[in-house]
A and B are shown apart, each in its own frame.
Chain A
Amino acid sequence: MAQQLSAAKEPNAEQIAEQKLYKQMGVTDDEYARICGFLGRKPNYVEIGVFSVMWSEHCSYKNSKPVLRRFPTTGPRVLMGPGEGAGVVDIGDNQAVVFKIESHNHPSAIEPYQGAATGVGGIIRDIFSMGARPVALLNSLRFGRLENDRVRYLFEHVVSGIAGYGNCIGIPTVAGEVMFDESYEGNPLVNAMCVGLIDHDKIQKGVAKGVGNPVFYVGPATGRDGIHGATFASEELTAESEAKRPAVQVGDPFMEKLVMEACLELIDSGIVLGIQDMGAAGLTCSSAEMASKAGNGIELYLDRVPQREEGMTPYEMMLSESQERMLYVIRPEHEAQARAIFDRWGVICAKVGKVTDDGRLKLFHHGELVGDMPVGALVDECPVYNPASQEPAYYRENAAIDTLRYPEAANLTETLRRILASPTVASKEWVYNQYDSMVRTETFVRPGSDAAVVGVPGTRKALAMTTDCNGRYVYLDPAVGGRIAVSEAARNIVCSGALPLAVTDNLNFGSPEKPDIFWQLEQATEGMAEACRALETPVIGGNVSLYNENAKGAIYPTPVVGMVGLVEDVDHITTQGFKAEGDIVLLLGDTKAELGGSELQYVLHGVTEGRPPELDLAVERALQQAVLEAIRGGLVASAHDLSEGGLAVALAESCISGGGIGASVALETELRPDVALFSESQSRILLSARPDKADALQELLAARGVPCRAIGTVGGSELRITVNGKEGVRSDVAQLEKAWKEAIPCYMK
């Protein structure tokens, strides 16, 4: 076959074998032998390229498949689970919500603006390729410490890349989180999530249906950008990866807006048989997966692929990750109808192939066969690894650490101010004011609350959405940290007045080839799976990003949880800010001496050690159900989840978000005062209620077995907290707000 046809500079099959060139593409000797077995010969350059990306972790999940199987993926509302572009969950009235999260960590580490922008572009395509109208974006970001110049550079440009893409395409960026810790230095995390709405009968699949049907390419012409992006994402970051800069793609949100509108119109016309976006591994992955899902084959005529650069080889076209491209299949008789739609939107559309019945991906270039591979081998036959797992030494050592070994914080007001000014806790206004959070005019709760709330047009319903994960907890105890990540996301959803529906997860870990890291992955996913079962929030899709390492080692294991909930009636929407003078402040849940992995520990002592807070899923579930019942019953004025910085930070945030209104709180406790204020015990929520509702609220909570104490009242302009009768915190809310709001802008000047 046609090895001699590939460009002269590309090595031939013999050279690939002799010089083991496949290794540069991340293919092992064993995998290479396996590929030769499937082909019955040695692969040529384009074929080994195609196998290398299809068998990369990013596309094949070869290292993570066994742990992903732990997740519950079904439920009464789940219409489509993992496997397609995004999961789909029923929200009633023939409508459904579609959502997914995806990482763009490695590209963002190299070129932060374009890396983040194309991450947003990619996740939007995943949503509209399902036929859904994207209605909201979220993002979960992790960076090193802001004292570092390079970190500030990455932070600044990642944020503007997200803004640049989302603002232009006109999808509001409504929520997210940003945390800072040196563990992410040199390896920032950029996880983008998109949420869409769809009618049940419009749901699309990425299948190449109907032998003989034409396969169309939509979107801008293909260039040499991003070649080997998928394998790049599956490697550790090294000094050489800086040199691989051309691997980063450039995004064009204006083009994506046109492609999106045209594709949604095409789907709406009812003629689409299958559609998929060209994400990682571009044309390769989309064509192979569409063929595989239909049990068919595909022939591609590569010279018909629109090309931006001259002299592109089949290898380059198959592996290019040029952005904003889609692949779809229709019946031949609908070709003119489809073409008219794309012409009106000014989007390129080219017939590049056809569906076949031989189960093979065949590539032709100027009439000659240049690649011929079994689709099944590409998609399903990548070896699945069960990497070795070992409990790391640090985990055992942490068991012995007494988190109370540091002296008591003397000045609690000053401590609160310092924690409020810690970038992880501080106001993220500097970030989210750069995002258009309101376009589409359905954003009912904007960024800065526990969860954002976005209306479902034409109904009384709304969607609550959030992302969550505290990597410190997961590092200290991956199983507990995993449980907390899911539980906290659900708690945020409940606090906004919504029922948690389902989860999309982004597993950001170090190299799975290291037993310590694989142990973290196993433990964390087990913890997440338990919580997902207990809280009835199945995992409907997600993404795995491994090899997040740099010279200093692996990042904290960071399995980001994206969650969406359903607000039954917009009247139930609840926010975290205190509402009125005289409202009663209630603390739900028990506070224990739990400082392991806390913000207090990090800010005051610069360490992350000990065991993280415990989490009992039965307690958590009861708390969430009771609070949602109370909100729906109209008993709650404000609700705020307790997280980083504990009770004191939650109180301060409720005051600040309440427009600067104060509160007077008296705590009775056996704990050390600083522990009582800054412990990060789980399953706690801060509520406020009108005085005439407070009794009924407390009765309801008592009846549901949820520990609840009235700890104070809303009013004045000061936050005052006494502990066992002694003054603990006393400050004007305005001063706390200043510390909280000015922290990040101050670093970014």
Chain B
Amino acid sequence: MKGDRVMKFAVLVFPGSNCDIDCYKAVESTIGQPVDYVWQTSTDLSAYDAILVPGGFSYGDYLRCGAIAQFAPVMGALKQAAEDGKYILGICNGFQILTEARLLPGALLRNKALKFRCHSAKLRVVNNETPFTRDYAENELIDIPIAHGEGNYYCDEATLKELQANRQIVFRYEAGNNPNGSVDDIAGICNRAGNVVGMMPHPERAVHELLGSADGKRMFTSILNAWRERSGAAVIGG
């Protein structure tokens, strides 16, 4: 839209990130907003409105998934961005990094069946009032692939109750089709403020019919629309 300020996206890159390109392409192809790769040594994310923490095997996922990445220089700036209310989306390894950094509660354990799993998965949109899901209907069933070995979400009882009470559970695996043993079928959660989301499934892999599903596209339009609404710009049609 003419005259509008564009929304600026950052895709963080750690050694071993491998879905960075996919996130970058998804932003370009779904909402056409400017996007930069930001290497983990950067200490300033102030230029960006949204930050994507991509999937992959940061630092080889040695020790624990995301454990080493949480200490990368860029993480200070990411925490600042979270506090500033910027939109942060961690996908797969990005979700693991966000939990290790305590930007999101809980942790990701090895899949119950102990095997890496990659296939389409049906997700239920549990909360469609986050900036990341506003273009979905409540309870909508969407098709987003998974690809992980350690996506078994765990948190203690008290935390789970809090997540439920605060509507922090954003996505659940379709009942009966939990691929990894996650507590309460959790596939994605957000923080209390709702501006930080972490999820194991890959919306960036579902942005075109040729990829088998275009259901992930609306996560990107949601983010853009939420930002535009917040900054008083026109909202694009879904």
Query: Taking CB as reference atom, which chain A residue is nearest B58?
Result: A254
In angstroms, Cα B60 to Cα A180, docked, is 33
Question: What is the CB-to-nearest-CB distance from A721 to chain B, in angstroms, rounded to a whole number?
Answer: 30
Chain B positions within 8 Å of A, measured between CB atoms, are 15-16, 18-19, 21-22, 25-26, 55-57, 59-62, 115-119, 145, 147, 149, 202, 204-205, 207, 210-212
Are A254 and B210 in contact, with the CB atoms below 8 A?
Answer: no
Interface residues of A in 557-584 (CB under 8 A from B): 570, 573
Q: A170-B56, A438-B147 are in contact. List 9 more A-B contacts (CB 8 A).
A: A163-B116, A258-B16, A436-B118, A438-B118, A438-B205, A440-B21, A441-B25, A441-B211, A446-B212
Are A254 and B26 in contact, with the CB atoms below 8 A?
Answer: no
Are A254 and B16 in contact, with the CB atoms below 8 A?
Answer: yes
Are A438 and B202 in contact, with the CB atoms below 8 A?
Answer: yes
Residue A221 CB within 8 A of the other chain: no
Residue A622 CB within 8 A of the other chain: no
Are A170 and B18 in contact, with the CB atoms below 8 A?
Answer: yes
Are B210 and A440 in contact, with the CB atoms below 8 A?
Answer: no
Are B118 and A444 in contact, with the CB atoms below 8 A?
Answer: no
Are B211 and A346 in contact, with the CB atoms below 8 A?
Answer: no
In angstroms, Cα B116 to Cα A255, docked, is 20
Residue A395 CB within 8 A of the other chain: no
Are B116 and A441 in contact, with the CB atoms below 8 A?
Answer: no
Query: Taking CB as reference atom, which chain B residue is nearest A444?
Result: B210
In angstroms, Cα B60 to Cα A164, docked, is 11
Are A441 and B57 in contact, with the CB atoms below 8 A?
Answer: no
Given contacts A434-B115, A444-B211, contact A346 B15 (CB under 8 A): yes
Q: What A residues does B56 contact at CB under 8 A?
A: 170
Are A254 and B57 in contact, with the CB atoms below 8 A?
Answer: yes
In angstroms, Cα B39 to Cα A258, docked, is 14
Q: What A residues does B118 contact at CB under 8 A?
A: 167, 432-438
Would you give 13 A-B contacts (Cβ < 8 Å), ordered by A? Answer: A164-B116, A167-B147, A168-B60, A252-B60, A254-B15, A257-B57, A432-B118, A435-B116, A439-B55, A441-B21, A441-B25, A441-B26, A446-B212
In angstroms, Cα B212 to Cα A444, docked, is 7
Query: Taking CB as reference atom, which chain A residue is nearest B179?
Result: A433
Question: What is the CB-to-nearest-CB distance from A84 to chain B, in angstroms, rounded to a whole number?
Answer: 27
Q: What A residues does B117 contact at CB under 8 A?
A: 433-434
In angstroms, Cα B118 to Cα A253, docked, is 19
Query: Taking CB as reference atom, which chain B residue is nearest A169?
Result: B18
Query: Taking CB as reference atom, which chain B residue is nearest A453?
Result: B210
Question: What is the CB-to-nearest-CB distance from B177 to chain A, in angstroms, rounded to a whole number?
Answer: 13
Are A168 and B202 in contact, with the CB atoms below 8 A?
Answer: no
In angstroms, Cα B211 to Cα A440, docked, is 11
- Residue from B26, B62, B210 whose CB has the most chain A CB atoms within 10 Å: B210
Residue A443 CB within 8 A of the other chain: yes
Interface residues of A in 580-597 (CB under 8 A from B): none
Question: What is the CB-to-nearest-CB distance from B170 to chain A, in angstroms, rounded to a whole number?
Answer: 22
Question: What is the CB-to-nearest-CB distance from B85 to chain A, in angstroms, rounded to a whole number?
Answer: 29
Are A254 and B62 in contact, with the CB atoms below 8 A?
Answer: yes
Q: What B residues does A441 contact at CB under 8 A?
A: 21-22, 25-26, 204-205, 207, 211
Query: Taking CB as reference atom, which chain A residue is nearest B62?
Result: A254
Q: What A residues does B60 contact at CB under 8 A?
A: 168, 252-255
Residue A345 CB within 8 A of the other chain: yes
Residue A183 CB within 8 A of the other chain: no
Are B19 and A170 in contact, with the CB atoms below 8 A?
Answer: yes
Q: What A residues does B19 contact at CB under 8 A?
A: 170, 439
Query: Taking CB as reference atom, which chain A residue is nearest B57?
Result: A168
In angstroms, Cα B202 to Cα A438, docked, is 10
Residue A455 CB within 8 A of the other chain: yes
Residue A160 CB within 8 A of the other chain: yes
Query: Taking CB as reference atom, which chain B residue is nearest A437?
Result: B118
Given contacts A168-B16, A435-B118, contact A253 B57 (CB under 8 A): yes
Q: What A residues does B115 contact at CB under 8 A?
A: 160, 433-434
Interface residues of A in 244-270 (CB under 8 A from B): 252-255, 257-258
Given contacts A254-B60, A446-B212, contact A438 B145 (CB under 8 A): yes
Query: Taking CB as reference atom, which chain A residue is nearest B147?
Result: A436
In angstroms, Cα B59 to Cα A438, docked, is 21
Interface residues of A in 155-183 (CB under 8 A from B): 160, 163-164, 167-170
In angstroms, Cα B208 to Cα A573, docked, is 15
In angstroms, Cα B57 to Cα A255, docked, is 11
